[in-house]
Structure formats: structure tokens, C-alpha cells
């Protein structure tokens, strides 16, 4: 879909538009160039990536009271969702402050952008998968196409039970996250969490073909980058999304 040169060019044009469109998902992103730097993964190339400064996020303490609070809060939001301006309700669940730092790199294998991120506590300890599930990094309803789910391979054998009970069982088998992987950042060689790029090209092609049917077959790299951010931002809170 993209070459490394196209990724570099499209990314820089993407962030250069942030002054004209300050409310879009490009706000706060910077381009980091590593001229003539050799990494352990990519050799003898001019490397660069999109980078966002660390922002505050929250690791919620999973208690019965906090779950009840979450349900009440979601009920209020649902009541307001049809209004023109939804009032943001402060989240009352107890939490531990964490930092979230995101980076978008080029996947040489899949030839698409890839979101990498680190999430860590005030003492610098990296969050594990179970802790990530209980943060506000991900939207709570990140369960639908086009991002995949990690599902249990165990099939249900209780077909004669009530439909509602079956749905609850299926819901319990799902990890409410896009497919995550632990990987090494191709430039700084540190360990990051990342959204696996295996299906990204297929999804982006579907989105671009649907929205730009009358455009040339080869779309501008910037448009690919914008579509990627729109896709990711539907499942993961953008770094510039301020929280109460």
C-alpha cells in the first residue's frame, strides 16, 4: 500500500495540516527524523516516525463499587447521546494515574502504518495486558468491525439455553481489545505494545474504496495516513483527547 518514502511524506503533510484543522486527530503529533541512523531491525535507511508526547491516562481499580459507578455513568451518557451537545460526565471510579505515549511507525512487512504505545505507572513500571484492559486508553465499546477481537476458541454447547444467557456467555469469552502484540520499536529499540498490522491494509483499502470511488487508483499518501488515524481513533482514545 505504501513505501517508506510515501509514509514519511504522507505523515509530514498530515501533521503540517494541524494548524489549519486544530480539532482533528493530527493535533499534537510531531515528526521525528533519525537521519542515517541504523537500528537493529532496519538497516541503512533514513528513519522517521510520528511521535506524541506522553499524556495522562487512568488505570481503574477494579472493584464492585467502581463497576456500579461505571454502569450508572454509562446510563447517563446513553440518555444524553441524542442531544446536540453531550455533557461529559466525570468518571467517579477510583484510579491510579498513568502515562500513555504513542508512536506511529511504518511496517516494512505489511507496508502500512502501525500504532505503537507505552503505558506506564508513575514509577515507570510498564502495564501488563490485564492492566491495560482496565484503563481508559481504549473505548469501552471497541468490539465491532473493522478491528478484530481476541476470542476464546471454546465453543458453546448450551444451545438449548435461553438466548440471553448464551449472549452473556459469549460476551464473557471476549477480550474487549483490538488484537495487541508486544513488539520492538524499529527505531528506538524499546519494547512497546502495538496494534498488529496484519489486517490493516485490507481494512484501509475497503475504507478508501468506499469513500473515494471516483479518485485515482493510487491515492495520495496523506489520505492513507488520515484514514489510518480515523480507524485507530475509533477504538483508542487519541492522545489529544482530554479527560476530566
The model's pLDDT over 10-56, given as tens digits with 9 standing for 90+, comes to 999 999 886 565 556 778 899 998 765 555 555 556 689 999 999 99
Q: Which residue would you say has higher pLDDT here, 54 or 163?
A: 54
Measure the CA dihedral 182/2/216/22, to 10°.
Answer: 60
Mean pLDDT is highest, among 139-143, 162-166, 182-186, for: 182-186
Question: What whole-number distance in Å separates Cα of residue 233 and Cα of residue 86?
Answer: 19
Q: Which residue would you say has higher pLDDT here, 215 or 139?
A: 139
Q: Which residue would you say has higher pLDDT here, 10 or 174?
A: 10
Integer-rounded Cα radius of gyration of the chain: 20
Q: What is the pTM of this model?
A: 0.72
- Of the given ranges (49-58, 99-108, 177-186), which has the lowest mean pLDDT? 177-186
- The proportion of the chain whose per-residue pLDDT surpasses 70, expressed as a percent, equals 60
Q: Which residue would you say has higher pLDDT here, 237 or 171?
A: 237
Helices (H), the chain: 4-16, 64-80, 129-133, 163-172, 200-211, 221-233
Amino acid at each position: 500500500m505504501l513505501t517508506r518514502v510515501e509514509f514519511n511524506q504522507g505523515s509530514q503533510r498530515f501533521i503540517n495540516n494541524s494548524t489549519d484543522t486544530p480539532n482533528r486527530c493530527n493535533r499534537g503529533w510531531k515528526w521525528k527524523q533519525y537521519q542515517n541512523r541504523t537500528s537493529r531491525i532496519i538497516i541503512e535507511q533514513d528513519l522517521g516516525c510520528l511521535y506524541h508526547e506522553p499524556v495522562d491516562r487512568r488505570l481503574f481499580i477494579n472493584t464492585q463499587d467502581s463497576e456500579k459507578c461505571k454502569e450508572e455513568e454509562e446510563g447517563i451518557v446513553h440518555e444524553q447521546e441524542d442531544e446536540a451537545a453531550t455533557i461529559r460526565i466525570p468518571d467517579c471510579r477510583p484510579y491510579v494515574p498513568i502515562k500513555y505515549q504513542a508512536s506511529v511507525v511504518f511496517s516494512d512487512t505489511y507496508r502500512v502504518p502501525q500504532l505503537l504505545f507505552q503505558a506506564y505507572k508513575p514509577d515507570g513500571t510498564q502495564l501488563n495486558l490485564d492492566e491495560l484492559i482496565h484503563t481508559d486508553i481504549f473505548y469501552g465499546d471497541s468490539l465491532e468491525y473493522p478491528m478484530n477481537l481476541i476470542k476464546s476458541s471454546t465453543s458453546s454447547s448450551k444451545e438449548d439455553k435461553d438466548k440471553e444467557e448464551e449472549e452473556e456467555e459469549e460476551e464473557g469469552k471476549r477480550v474487549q481489545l483490538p488484537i495487541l502484540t508486544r513488539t520492538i520499536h524499529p527505531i528506538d529499540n524499546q519494547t512497546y505494545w502495538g496494534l498488529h498490522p496484519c489486517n490493516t491494509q485490507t481494512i484501509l483499502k475497503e475504507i478508501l474504496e468506499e469513500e473515494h470511488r471516483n479518485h485515482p487508483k493510487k491515492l495520495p499518501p496523506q489520505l492513507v495516513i488520515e484514514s489510518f488515524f480515523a480507524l485507530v481513533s475509533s477504538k483508542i482514545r487519541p492522545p489529544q483527547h482530554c479527560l476530566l
